[in-house]
Amino acid sequence: MAPVSGSDLADVPDPSPVPAEKPRGPERTSAVAGAFKDALVSGLLTALLFLPLVGFRASESSTGSLVLTYRFGLVAIFAGIVMVGRFLLMVTVWNPNRPPRRVSTTPGVMARLGALASPAVKPVFFSFAILYPFLSILLAGGLSPSRYWVDLGIYVLTYVMLGWGLNIVVGLAGLLDLGYVAFYAVGAYTFALLSTSVPINDFFAGTLGDDFWTAWAFWICLPLSGILAAMWGVILGFPVLRLRGDYLAIVTLAFGEIIRLVLINWVSLTNGGAGISSIPPITFFGVPFDSSETGFASIFGLEFNSMHRMFFLYFVILGLAALTAVVTIRLRKMPVGRAWEALREDEIACRSLGINTTLTKLTAFATGAMFGGFAGAFFAVRIRFVSPESFTFMESAVILAIVVLGGMGSQMGVAGAAILLIGGMELLRNLSFLKADFLFGSDFDPSLYRMLIFGFAMVAVMVWRPRGLVSSRMPTIFLKERKAVSGSLVKEGHG
Amino acid sequence: MAGESASPARESRAWDRNPILKVDHLSMRFGGLVAVNDVSFVAGRGEVTAVIGPNGAGKTTVFNCITGFYKPSTGRLALFHGGPATDAEVDGVTASGLAWGKSEAGALYLLERLPDHKVASWARVARTFQNIRLFSGMTILENLLVAQHMSLTTSGLLNPAAILNLPSWQRKQKGAVDRALYWLNKIGLVDRADDPAGDLPYGDQRRLEIARAMCTDPVLLCLDEPAAGLNPRESAALNELLLSIRREHQASILLIEHDMSVVMEISDHVVVLEYGSKIADGTPDEVRNDPRVIASYLGVEDEEEAVAVVEAGA
Amino acid sequence: MDVFLQQLINGLTLGSIYGLIAIGYTMVFGIIGMVNFAHGDVFMVSAFIALICVLLLTTVVGLSSIFLILAITLVVAMLFTGLVSWTIERVAYRPLRGSFRLAPMISAIGMSILLSNFVQVAQGPRNKPLPPMVTEVIVIRETNGYEVTLAYKQIIIMVVTAVLLAGFWYLVKKTPLGRAQRACEQDRKMAALLGVNVDQTIALTFVIGAALAAVAGVMYLMYYGVVNFADGFVPGVKAFTAAVLGGIGSLPGAVLGGILIGLIETFWSAYFSIEYKDVAAFSILVVTLIFLPQGLLGRPEVEKV
Ligand SMILES: Nc1ncnc2c1ncn2[C@@H]1O[C@H](COP(=O)(O)OP(=O)(O)O)[C@@H](O)[C@H]1O
Ligand SMILES: [Mg+2]
């Protein structure tokens, strides 16, 4: 039969490299023979799994009806890769004859390294974050060439901020929120709707000058977006926060979807799927970034460059992210923050101590939502266009993955995870070298594989480190010595 | 007063004269299962009241009703602050439909009408759990600070003074840490204040849970099998702790216990449950000599043997 | 009245499909207390397997008997989807059992993303339309030109659903496997001590759930005649809603919930607004969870202190 005829499938990660339990009897066959058998079985399994959807492809023929094309060679290649990989793993890492790893109750090496480095990590991270745009100019060789890197920095920092915001809900209070993107959407639409509103513009034009609203809309709407998102957090949270973990997760997911569907269908307000465009750009506290006499460049005696606005956006999101971090750090040391963490540890014990758990959960939900709202407003002013497409469940899943991968509760972990995941996904977008003729050819689209690899990485990371990158917890107060609490003692809450 | 009509023998009881908690005709059903069946008893102010009975007798369920975790099927649970309220006052609040009311001596609360966290924060009833429920991923000090949540949040959950870390807040927080230290001294865990609670040995966890409950400054402390799983030395330390709580903190204690040595040594009043019903109620001496208790609680048919067992235990 | 009757028929058909998917959610939740997020995508994968199988049978083998094609497709889809689900459990969920409770949930979300994008990469992002398979209809009544019809394929869907449900019902209630399942549901450790092979029981639960989802996938493909890689999410959430509405953990509840959701969706679309039909489904989910968390046929849950 025809060998590989579809060239767009080449890099699917193999889904079955896990050892089956081996009966550990005295008559255990030699490791190599066992490994060989295992490899054969997994290879066969892979072939079977891949046969229907990789081996065959339903392609559209010229007449529009579907015809089958065959790619059995591809299936064989995958089966072979899995077989070899499995065999190598079985004789090395998963070798049953290897002495079992010692089990320790003390924090693992990673955790201890993390604890050692942690006093240094934060200042280093923040200095780097502040210097980053200047470094990009240096490395990219000029203001304009650095656009890509500064933009990437803004993009990553937005997710750092969203991760920190959701971390309050999931990491500290232990409430699984799968609809966080709803608050991001509320923030974005609040700003988009208010800033493009003609009546408001006219109102201010009559009182404070023609340009007032365009110049100040963001700075006035930013707090409003946060407050409105927090209010939505309370409205949505109030009925659902008594639910147990998984149910809470599903209800929040449903709320997220409802909000998105309403945004799509309420055309008279939101302009539906077409979205809202021509949102006024950010200003330097009222001073526009344009080439006019009264623009930022002439006032500060600089030569006009559109990168100024980009730079400013970078520092605005850095400031917002820092605000999120500082507020969270402060709240953790307050009774309300301790109550959040206590709630994650044991809700029933909390109630026996007189803590109003509904109220406490609501504050966590609302605080998280508020930061989501800020981030949403920022998103809208950066892109200057909002549409329901930006607020899908995938977005919530990505933010949640950042929090969980980071190690719930740890701010540095979450920041690291955001950089890894978002930066990584961005890198995948740029794998254009794979299009070279000797690799996959020019009709190969690497960005197709982005989400595939993302999903695979999510599973792999969970299996590898279920507790995330930084699993230990720092106490909020100490008498003599601040010692990290091992992740194995920290609970994950009811959801 | 209603007390007047009672028999002279009952009148002399300290707990009847000065009750802190009155349980009236409490019943709790789970579907068809009657876990607690029309139980009435009184816990005296400043006393240690023990609730004993075989496994499954309904002791924990009574506790869960008192502390608001279960809503009783029927019955009234009246708790008195300050001093005992008259029956007329209790009936008045019951009829008013409210969960609490003022009495001449102070205030009275109908616990069956309060949600669990308000039982703790308003009525000031604290409890421990049969299966220890510490915040195991938080340090011992943090556990004791969470317990002071109520007194630390009197000016709101998001108190600006706390957000800005003003001196007034720092003083308040210092007071809370001092209080935690006081209790840590009492249970001998000062050196481990910065360790996670989940790392403590079992006996220490039990005592930490009691200290945590005491940090809420309760008027009634409910302990569900505090001596379960303790060795004799730890058990003795526990007795000491409980007695000192009663002496120095004017807290009344309601205690579920299996260990007869603890019961006999520290309790003033014993209530015996079996299959959800009360079968005896009196001083430790009276209960220990009650033939029904001997027969049922100890599960021994031969009465004399039972007495011997009890006395050996005491 | 005629519109009502027609919507009733349509709703029951749709409801059968939701009910079949819902069983997978409910069984997995019952046994390991986990919302198998990837189940909707397993359903989508099964529809694609069915698509390939139908194409193979019609264009390559040249079968023309529609019933033979359907029967073979059903068996093939159930087998392969069962295998897919078994592998997923083995690779993505089993290593996480007993660890951190969020981990399997996140893993399942990752798996859901992985599956839909895998299909997108392997089969392409466009809709895959099949020529209509069973087109005959029975006209039940006709008034003023409005025909109330019952399509053969609707009959097939309802009959196949009923027969397979009865079969699996027997499997779960009357066989040692069913007993082992219920034992694991009650207390996994104890079941293991008493000699129940817990791992195998859980794996089989996943396989059965996937096989029923595959039946739903074949029916879906036959009914709508088109499938897309993104078709897992919304039916998945609706089926989950059905499971919750019926009382999660309860098999008859899942079917009842499925039928109710199907009916509500069709009636909502017919009488109110078709744009908001998904909003209606999600709202039912929210309202059920808030006001009736144990569902219609589930046991109420008392918090043990
Ligand atoms: N939440 C509940 N749901 C159903 N039955 C319960 C519940 N809590 C307790 N029970 C039942 O009530 C009875 C008394 O239990 P419990 O109060 O725990 O006994 P004890 O503490 O005296 O050992 C037992 O039969 C127990 O199974
Ligand atoms: Mg008990």
Query: For position A104, what pLDDT does the model report?
Result: 46
Query: For position A114, what pLDDT does the model report?
Result: 56
pLDDT digits (tens, 9 = 90+) for B195-222: 999 999 999 999 999 999 999 999 999 9
- Which ligand 1 atom is the nearest neighbour of the CA of B61? 17
Ligand 1 center to residue B72 CA distance, Å?
A: 13
* Residue to mutate (ligand 1; options B27, B29, B33, B279; most atoms within 8 A of CB): B33
Chain A environment of C229 (Cβ under 8 Å): none
Enumerate residues 6+ apart whose C-beta is below 8 A from A312.
Answer: A282, A284, A289, A296
Structural domain boundaries, residue A4:
1-97
Do A284 and A212 fall into the same domain?
A: yes
Beta strand C137-143 pairing with C146-151: antiparallel
Q: What gap in Å lies between CA C288 and CA C63, rounded to an integer? A: 46
Q: How confident is the model at residue A43 (pLDDT cuts 50, 70, 90)?
A: very high
Residue B59 Cβ contacting ligand 1 at under 6 Å: yes
Question: How many structural domains is chain A composed of?
Answer: 2
Beta carbons of C110 and C92 less than 8 angstroms apart: yes
Q: Does pLDDT of A7 surpass 80?
A: no
**Tokens 């301790």, located at residue:** A338
A197 at interface of C, judged by CB pairs closer than 8 A: no
Do A88 and A149 fall into the same domain?
A: no
Q: How confident is the model at residue A444 (pLDDT cuts 50, 70, 90)?
A: low
Q: Looking at the domain assignment, is residue A352 inside a domain?
A: yes
Domain boundaries, chain C: 16-232
Instruction: Find the mean pLDDT for residues C232-250.
Output: 88
Q: Looking at the domain assignment, is residue A3 inside a domain?
A: yes
Query: For position A8, what pLDDT does the model report?
Result: 39
Do A335 and A482 fall into the same domain?
A: yes
- Average pLDDT for chain A: 83
Query: For position A38, what pLDDT does the model report?
Result: 86
Enumerate residues 6+ apart whose C-beta is below 8 A from B87.
Answer: B1, B2
Beta carbons of A372 and A183 less than 8 angstroms apart: yes
Q: Looking at the domain assignment, is residue A346 inside a domain?
A: yes
Query: For position B125, what pLDDT does the model report?
Result: 95
Q: Looking at the domain assignment, is residue A110 inside a domain?
A: no
- Taking CB atoms and an 8 Å limit, are C101 and A49 in contact across chains? no
Do A218 and A82 fall into the same domain?
A: no
- Dihedral angle sign, alpha carbons of residues C65, C68, C74, C76: negative
Q: Does pLDDT of A485 surpass 90?
A: no
Residue B9 Cβ contacting ligand 1 at under 6 Å: no
Torsion angle in degrees (nearest 10) through CA of A260, A234, B70, B94: -130
Domain edge (last residue) among A41, A63, A97? A97
Domain boundaries, chain B: 2-124+220-313, 137-217
Do A299 and A196 fall into the same domain?
A: yes
Q: Please state, for a pLDDT cut of 70, what percent of chain A lies above it.
A: 84
Q: What gap in Å lies between CA B198 and CA B146, rounded to an integer? A: 15
Q: How confident is the model at residue C303 (pLDDT cuts 50, 70, 90)?
A: low
- Dihedral angle sign, alpha carbons of residues A435, A425, A144, A287: positive
Ligand 2 center to residue B249 CA distance, Å?
A: 26
CA distances from B188 to B174, B191, B207, B238 (A): 20, 8, 9, 12
Residue B56 Cβ contacting ligand 1 at under 6 Å: yes
* Least CB–CB distance from B129: residue in C302, C303, C305: C305
Instruction: Find the mean pLDDT for residues A460-467.
Output: 84
Least Cα separation, residue C47 to chain A (angstroms) = 11
Do A44 and A151 fall into the same domain?
A: no
Q: Does pLDDT of B243 surpass 70?
A: yes
Name all chains with 3 or more CB-CB pairs below 8 Å to chain A: B, C
- Taking CB atoms and an 8 Å limit, are A334 and B163 in contact across chains? yes
Name all chains with 3 or more CB-CB pairs below 8 Å to chain B: A, C
Query: For position A211, what pLDDT does the model report?
Result: 82
**Fold of the CATH domain B2-124+220-313:** Rossmann fold (3.40.50)
Do A39 and A164 fall into the same domain?
A: no
Ligand 1 center to residue B130 CA distance, Å?
A: 12
Instruction: Find the mean pLDDT for residues B254-259.
Output: 87
Instruction: Find the mean pLDDT for residues C136-154.
Output: 83
Beta carbons of C29 and C205 less than 8 angstroms apart: no
pLDDT digits (tens, 9 = 90+) for A326-338: 999 999 999 999 9
- Taking CB atoms and an 8 Å limit, are A489 and B165 in contact across chains? no
A458 at interface of C, judged by CB pairs closer than 8 A: yes
Q: Looking at the domain assignment, is residue A440 inside a domain?
A: no
Query: For position B76, what pLDDT does the model report?
Result: 94
pLDDT digits (tens, 9 = 90+) for C62-82: 888 888 999 999 999 999 999
Residue of B nearest to C300 (CA): B31
Q: Does pLDDT of B313 surpass 60?
A: no
Q: How confident is the model at residue C116 (pLDDT cuts 50, 70, 90)?
A: very high
Ligand 2 center to residue B272 CA distance, Å?
A: 13
Q: Looking at the domain assignment, is residue A442 inside a domain?
A: no
Q: How confident is the model at residue A18 (pLDDT cuts 50, 70, 90)?
A: very low
The amino acid sitting at B263 is V
